[in-house]
Structure 1
């Protein structure tokens, strides 16, 4: 039988492989919050998240309408006074980028640049959808954008389960499927937005809070 000393190349290689596998296993382990950990008073959560005005989400988004489905990588950085949103293909090719500061809104798509002082008009002009971005800034956090919005809450976590709203005389419905703890805040990492024949699915891989 061939024996290897502790300092032989094979023994060192085995040690390196063991360390590498252990490290990768540790890095790939994600803590998923239990319902008990997620449970929080509704008003307390709303007060906490209303103060969160600077955040970034990264993930994937899908637009489904009838038999048509388009998917993209999502990057959305939001501050109190600005919006920076980018959609890219899985190969990193830019599909759409939006920069919005104050009343200046610039959107780039299909190799063209569009600008308008009304964000919803701009999006409607390019996509044909009057997407309520100002309301989505609240909805993404599971908050009402206006007092008339209606929220139903989970019996197990007390977190928002659905949100129903009318914006510009059109009906929108959100379904929050999964939550996780981010810096002790309860934030959705999987949600669905429905509007007429359009369904938007978002899978948020990362929340960055500033």
Structure 2
């Protein structure tokens, strides 16, 4: 059999792949709410009345699935928090826990309820639609202050990624508890076709 006859299917495969709808590229986003999938990395610092700490993180997010890998001095060495609708799991060197939401499990890491579901929105500079909120915008129309779920948040640093300005530092306080999310790298991902 000749090489030409062995690969008869190749032109057909190329034609079919060209006919598929191209996914949206990260540079095509013009608003933060268009970003549904992303990767980001940075540092999470937190403080409670009795404790405090920090950790580096790598976060991958899709519309129905999330994963955050923590490393550093959280007392666990490293930890992985994953979730999907109705189920979340935290794995550390000290054990494994499961709950309905990732926020319930984040307590094992920080000692307070960290609203991970809301952070999916806050990290993009958006108000979480799941609870009432009071917000203020800066002169550029970007979220600068937010009170939601008992947290008072300050968005004081944005950087442009592609064509969208995204937060790179968020400070949050709730009574004696506080955290700072410092995002070093933001990578919006193409939407699925």
Q: TM-score, normalised by structure 2?
A: 0.73
Structure 2 vs 1, CA of residues 120 and 201 (structure 1 numbering), >3 Å: closer, same or farther? Answer: closer
Q: For 1:128 and 1:106, how far apart are their aligned partners in 2?
A: 17
> Of 120, 139, 143, which residue of structure 2 is paired with 1:160?
143
Q: For 1:120 and 1:201, how far apart are their aligned partners in 2?
A: 16
Looking at secondary structure, tell me which structure has more helix per residue: 1
Structure 2 matches for 1:1-210, cutoff 5 A? 48-66=31-49, 68-89=51-72, 94-124=77-107, 127-146=110-129, 148-155=132-139, 157-166=140-149, 171-210=150-189
Q: For 2:159 and 2:175, how far apart are their aligned partners in 1?
A: 29
**Structure 1: 5+ residue runs without aligned partners?**
1-44
Aligned-CA RMSD value: 2.3
Q: Number of aligned pairs?
A: 158
Q: For 2:180 and 2:109, how far apart are their aligned partners in 1?
A: 20
Structure 2 vs 1, CA of residues 196 and 188 (structure 1 numbering), >3 Å: closer, same or farther? Answer: same
**Structure 2: 5+ residue runs without aligned partners?**
1-28
Q: TM-score, normalised by structure 1?
A: 0.67
> Of the two structures, which has the highest relative contact order with CA contacts closer than 8 Å and spacing of 6 or more?
2
Question: Higher Cα Rg: structure 1 or 2?
Answer: 1
Q: For 2:67 and 2:108, how far apart are their aligned partners in 1?
A: 19
Structure 2 vs 1, CA of residues 118 and 183 (structure 1 numbering), >3 Å: closer, same or farther? Answer: same
Task: Extract structure 1 runs of 4+ deviating beyond 6 A.
Answer: none
